Amino acid sequence: MEKITAIRGFKDILPDDALAFCRIESLARTIFDSFGFREIRVPILEKTELFKRSIGETTDIVEKEMYTFTDRDNDQITLRPEATASVIRAYIEHNMSANEPVTKLFTFGPMFRRERPQKGRFRQFNQIDVEVFGDDKPQTDAEVIFMLMHFLNSAGLRNLQLEINSLGCSACRPEFSKAVIDFLKDRQSRLCPDCQRRIHTNPLRVFDCKVPSCAETLAGAPQIIDFLCSDCTQHFAQVQSFLADLQTPFVINARMVRGLDYYTRTAFEVTTGILGAQNAVAGGGRYNGLVSFLGGPDVTGIGFAVGFERLVACLPENRKDTYTTDLFIAALGANAQHIAFGLTNRLRVCGLSAEMDYSDKSLKSQMKRADKLNSAYALIFGDKEIEEKQVVLRNMQTKQQQDIPMNGLHESIIKIIKER
């Protein structure tokens, strides 16, 4: 019978990577908590309209990448392609703005996009998502970016580059859009069919296109940073000043527009050379107006997302995670196996990670398994040790051994392992 394999673009997260995910989640919770953020959990499925309205109907995500279906009630349902829209929906639905004027939230979970699988990029991927509602000050932008960089550096990533831009606002963006349309008027035939259509519906999306001919055509195109109104110019300058105060290096990437329609003013990405052409490991920006556009109060917002798989792919080898075991019990013979079975499980209840082999293999085979499990210690005994009421505890790293009396063995092992 033919074996069934995972769907293309969907990846099993095996134990070592799962361990890395857990460590990164734990680190994120610790850091985000110190900055005043609280965790929220939102559904994987949402009404399709939520993403069409928030992300934008002319984006690649909505047009080409969403997993959308009609359920039995004839409703259009979508597997979430990103978390911001879902968090905003929950923020509005549960009237969270009434509890506190500034709301800081984060969430973890899987997202789904039908894009081309490549290194660190899958069709089901896991993200860390952070959002701040109700504060439009440039200090907040700088604080969110600083927290992101602190988290990535603490996770072990190196050689990162922070790129920032301002995407303006509803007052200054129309003039920029007109300038882009004028620039592309005589160059339209060089663009891909999607970009030819988007010139008139959403010119900013042209800058986000990955087709090489489109990128070449845009060389020398107007830059939005040159069209910012005085308020946006001042806001962007202050963001840069506060980042400098926090000793957070950055470069201005005037071509960066991000892949979602809802961004306004500050946008940012963190890139690395490890991942190839698709080199962003994290990104985000401000989205003033999106909450009210989705039916909520007129509050501002800013946030970012980090891809778990991309982050783990960037970790240096010495920061990769492997499972370890506190103790492996190598029991030889039926009597030893009986004693070891009870001891193993009592030690687990006390918080130690302990393993044993039930198949009564040779000592050599059992010690090989202890090595594979990265055990810190191995406890070795058989009929002879039971008769002498002394067992052998071996430090698997130094290979040093010591005899331990069987009387009070449980307490002795706990003391030795916890004091190491």
> How confident is residue 64, by pLDDT bands cut at 50, 70 and 90?
confident
79 neighbors 44 (Cβ within 8 angstroms): yes
Q: Would you state the pLDDT for residue 310?
A: 87
Answer yes or no: is pLDDT of 198 > 80.
no
Last residue of a domain, one of 284, 302, 318: 318
- Coil, helix or strand for 322? coil
Is residue 141 domain-shared with residue 78, that is, in the same domain? yes
Tell me the C-alpha distance between 151 and 29, whole Å: 10
Is residue 329 domain-shared with residue 312, that is, in the same domain? no
Answer yes or no: is pLDDT of 97 > 70.
yes
Which of 158, 161, 128 is closest to 37 using CA atoms? Answer: 128
Which of 289, 261, 264, 262 is closest to 203 using CA atoms? Answer: 261
- Coil, helix or strand for 316? coil
Last residue of a domain, one of 264, 295, 318: 318
Q: Would you state the pLDDT for residue 16?
A: 81
What phi and psi values does residue 131 have, to the nearest 5 degrees? -140, 145
Is residue 311 domain-shared with residue 358, that is, in the same domain? no
Contacts of 48 (CB under 8 A, 6+ apart): 66, 68, 76, 77, 78
208 neighbors 258 (Cβ within 8 angstroms): yes
Contacts of 259 (CB under 8 A, 6+ apart): 59, 60, 61, 208
Burial, 348: exposed, middle or buried (Cβ in 10 Å; 0-12, 13-18, 19+)?
Answer: middle
Is residue 264 domain-shared with residue 404, that is, in the same domain? no
Q: Work out the widest C-alpha separation in the chain, in whole angstroms.
A: 94
Q: β-strands 354-356, 325-331: how paired?
A: parallel
Last residue of a domain, one of 318, 347, 375: 318
Is residue 67 domain-shared with residue 117, that is, in the same domain? yes
Which one has a higher pLDDT value, 46 or 263?
A: 46
Which of 317, 323, 339 is closest to 385 using CA atoms? Answer: 339
> How confident is residue 191, by pLDDT bands cut at 50, 70 and 90?
confident
Q: Convert the pLDDT of each residue in 230-274 to its tens digit.
A: 999 999 999 999 999 999 999 999 888 765 567 889 999 999 877
Q: Convert the pLDDT of each residue in 1-31 to its tens digit.
A: 889 999 888 989 888 888 888 999 999 999 9
Which of 157, 131, 419, 115 is closest to 300 using CA atoms? Answer: 131
H or E segment and range at residue 10: none
Tell me the C-alpha distance between 416 and 93, whole Å: 53
Which one has a higher pLDDT value, 313 or 375?
A: 375
Q: What tokens does 345 get?
A: 């499980």
Answer yes or no: is pLDDT of 322 > 70.
yes
Answer yes or no: is pLDDT of 380 > 60.
yes
174 neighbors 326 (Cβ within 8 angstroms): no
Is residue 283 domain-shared with residue 413, that is, in the same domain? no
Domain count of the fold of the chain: 2
pTM, entire model: 0.84
CATH number at residue 64: 3.30.930.10
Domain containing residue 29: 15-172+228-318
130 neighbors 114 (Cβ within 8 angstroms): no
Q: Would you state the pLDDT for residue 321?
A: 66
Taking CA atoms, 306 is separated from 73, 155, 156, in Å, by: 34, 12, 14
- Coil, helix or strand for 154? helix
Is residue 55 domain-shared with residue 139, that is, in the same domain? yes
Q: How far apart are the first and last CA of the chain?
A: 51
Is residue 181 one of the residues assigned to a domain? no
Angle between helices 48-55 and 84-93 (to 10 degrees): 110
Is residue 167 one of the residues assigned to a domain? yes
Contacts of 172 (CB under 8 A, 6+ apart): 227, 228, 229, 232
Which of 369, 373, 372, 415 is closest to 393 using CA atoms? Answer: 415
Angle made by CA atoms 284, 272, 281, in degrees to the nearest 5 = 35
Tell me the C-alpha distance between 16 and 190, whole Å: 47
Is residue 313 domain-shared with residue 339, that is, in the same domain? no
Q: Would you state the pLDDT for residue 73?
A: 92
Q: What percent of the chain has pLDDT over 70?
A: 96
Answer yes or no: is pLDDT of 355 > 70.
yes
Answer yes or no: is pLDDT of 119 > 80.
no
Mean pLDDT calculated for residue range 277-301: 90
Q: Would you state the pLDDT for residue 419?
A: 81
Average pLDDT, the chain: 89
DSSP state of 35: T
Alpha helices (H) along 125-223: 138-155, 173-184, 193-201, 212-217
